Amino acid sequence: MATVAATTSRVRPRGTLSERFVRFWNRYLLFIYTGFAVVYLMLPVAVMALFSFNDPAGKSNFVWQGFTLDAWQNIFAVPGLQSAVTISIGIAFASTAVATTLGTLIALALARHDFRGRSSTNLFIFLPMATPEIVLGASLLTLFVAIGAEPFFPLSFVTILIAHIMFNISFVVVTVRARLSGFPTHLEEAAMDLGANELTTFWKVTFPLILPGIMAAALLAFSLSIDDFVITNFTSGGTVTFPMFIYAKARIGIPPQVNVVGTIIFLTAVGLVAVSTIISRRRLMRDEAIARKHALEGT
């Protein structure tokens, strides 16, 4: 009898249909919403990857005609594509390196020091993020033309690089500064108490802890640079980047090789994020294991 009673007490009443629906909705609402959000975000990427295997009729790649590997085997068969991709990747790497370095230093200064003009600096950092790209592009074009007419300061690779560094710095500062909020400064103080100078403390303590934020900022800056069209269109002159190449080809038909390049860029970015996440997780597990070991040795 006791066993039967215990079993009966553990059986939860099913309730009415509406009550069961409410319980189901409350339990799985977050998972359903996340699933739809992921599908919504990844659907264009999936279509891009799918049409990289398309066998287009003529120059149009908007209708599925059949499966082929020709575009993957001849990625740069389209004239001008290789040059555009090379220029975009070069600008993206250079602007990311400069913007990440300057942005990290600015974020450290804003987060750690109180100086005259700090509030104004915060305002100027957010201005490029809040200003429409078409306004930034027109302003930069006016600036480049005003400081030197052709051929002394022509619109070229250099002007695109300067423009990309300018708007990337803001995103780097915001990302790294978010990482610095709540930073455990007692670790730096402990390192300096043990005899480390400021430079050694930065490289041995501060930099490894903020490295995930710096990597995230660099990936964001690279993504923003390699796909920018509006500002680049104003400051490029005769230089053709990958987004400008796509815009020009869109009028007559985008070749599947463009989808191939886009898929490769996407997979590379995802791979870098995955590697960074795995490294950070392993480092965290290693630190936790060391901490547990020290705790056991102390007891």
Given its phi and psi angles, is residue 108 left (phi above 0), alpha (psi -120 to 50 degrees) or beta?
alpha
Residue 1: predicted pLDDT: 46
Residue found under tokens 């082929």 = 68
Sign for the pseudo-dihedral over CA of 132, 133, 136, 138:
negative
Task: Find the mean pLDDT for residues 184-203.
Answer: 80
148-180: pLDDT as tens digits = 655 556 888 889 999 999 999 999 999 998 888
Least confident range of 102-106, 161-165, 190-194 = 190-194
Q: Which residues are CB-neighbours of 255 under 8 A, at least 6 positions away? A: 56, 59, 61, 71, 78, 81, 249
SS3 67: strand
Q: How confident is the model at residue 102 (pLDDT cuts 50, 70, 90)?
A: very high
Please state, in angstroms and as integers, the Cα–Cα distance from residue 169 to each residue in 4, 69, 116, following that order.
Answer: 69, 40, 21
Q: Tell if the pTM clears 0.85, that is, is over it.
A: no
Residue 84: predicted pLDDT: 92
Rounded CA-CA distance 76/292 in Å is: 54
Q: Compute the mean pLDDT over every residue in the chain, rounded to the nearest whole number.
A: 83
Residue 168: predicted pLDDT: 93
Q: Which residue ranges form the domains of the chain, and what is each CATH number?
A: 13-47 (no CATH), 79-254 (1.10.3720.10)
Rounded CA-CA distance 91/68 in Å is: 32
Instruction: Assess contact for 100 and 210: CB atoms under 8 A.
Output: no
Give the other-Cβ count within 10 Å of 144's Cβ.
21
Give the other-Cβ count within 10 Å of 279's Cβ.
13
Task: Find the mean pLDDT for residues 94-107.
Answer: 93
Residue 149: predicted pLDDT: 55
